[in-house]
Amino acid sequence: MSDGLYQLAEEHEELRAAIRALAEKEIAPHAEDVDESERYPVEALEALNKAGFAAVHIPEEYGGQGADAIATDIVIEEVARVCASSSLIPAVNKLGTMNIILGGSEELKHKVLGEVAEGATASYALSEREAGSDPASMRTKAIRDGDNWVLNGTKCWITNAGESSWYTVMAVSDPDASNPAAGISAFAVHAEDPGFVVGPKERKLGIKGSPTREIYFENCTIPGDRVIGEPGQGLKLAFTTLDHTRHSIGAQALGIAQGALDATIDYVKERQQFGKAISEFQGVQFMIADMAMKIEAARHLVYAAAAKVERGDADKSFASSAAKTFASDVAMEVTTDAVQLFGGAGYTRDFPVERMMRDAKITQIYEGTNQIQRMVMARQLLK
């Protein structure tokens, strides 16, 4: 009966070995400069595209690898272990295309997914300044004009904006809908569409290599067949998409935490105080043990959530929110402890743990704050 033992498939472990080798060779050497210079990680994009790791989730029929959700999370996790900014390439490619995978026409799937499988990147445009945790109150409008749609409005906090070619955009297409949520539609917008404008970069605490910008729609005109699914399905698609991607933020947080733990273990074994390595002190050992224990718990929660969402289990929304929340809280705690264990050195930019601590913070905030996640979980439990 050994086939039923609880473990990842052999191909998942082989994938981990391959992506870890690539990340350490092609991405890690540039991570410090990417953060310091606040520049897009072009080396990571090139390496991930060349190896086929930039968008492994895209189904084979559209030119992708058709990787399952756990495999996709492993890619994100292993890239985040060395560079959180770079891990947003595969993570946001999934976020930016999931609406289309779930609800797009075959023509739209072949066009957008095909281009992303070949190396283009995608972003996701849901949030607005006054519609973050409350997306139903968004103001961006989409109006039919003959065979086209015309978009007007502003979206904010758009990850990799200005670098991506494709944007999944939510807009109000029926302002008279009795339920505001039912009046929102999803659209595929290309960076070269007339009236699409990219704003300046936000000045951020962490993930500085991944540009975050506002995007503006100034009578942005797109073909009528770029609506994703049926008009009015936008928010429903958005929430389903987030089930598929929230655990991926958990995977990113998991990778950041693992990178911080690995760096800390190396450091405490080398750092000498009172005539011996600080790893020999029980206080340090307890901290290291707690860090590793929490990371291991987060890892299993993330992978279990990925499997539940892929299967369509009844508790998939709870699982995905739980994975994101727990893993991101663990990442913040572990990276903070890592800085503490490095002592004064941890507070300098000479070591990677201060960057990891700054990068970890956003995982508690984006794709729904952890407070919102707790509301999602509670509603699932109480309904």
Residues tagged active-site: 367
Q: Where are the alpha helices (DSSP H) in 104-179?
A: 106-108, 114-117
AA identity, residue 337: D
Q: Which two tokens stand for residue 321?
A: 């929110």
Q: Which two tokens stand for residue 254?
A: 């998991």
Q: Is 10 left (phi over 0), alpha (psi -120 to 50) or beta?
A: alpha
The residues pairing with 144 across neighbouring beta strands, listed in sequence order, are 149
How far apart, in Å, are the Cα atoms of 199 and each of 155, 163, 192, 213? 10, 12, 15, 6
Our separate counts of H helices and E strands in the chain read: 12, 10
> Residue 283: is it exposed, middle or buried by C-beta count within 10 angstroms (0-12/13-18/19+)?
exposed
Angle at 211 between CA 248 and CA 255, to 5 degrees: 30
Write b or e for each residue in 6-38: b if 16 or more Cβ atoms lie within 10 A of its Cβ, otherwise e.
eeeeeebeebbebbbebbeebbbebbeebbeeb
Angle, helices 234-270/282-311, rounded to nearest 10 degrees = 160
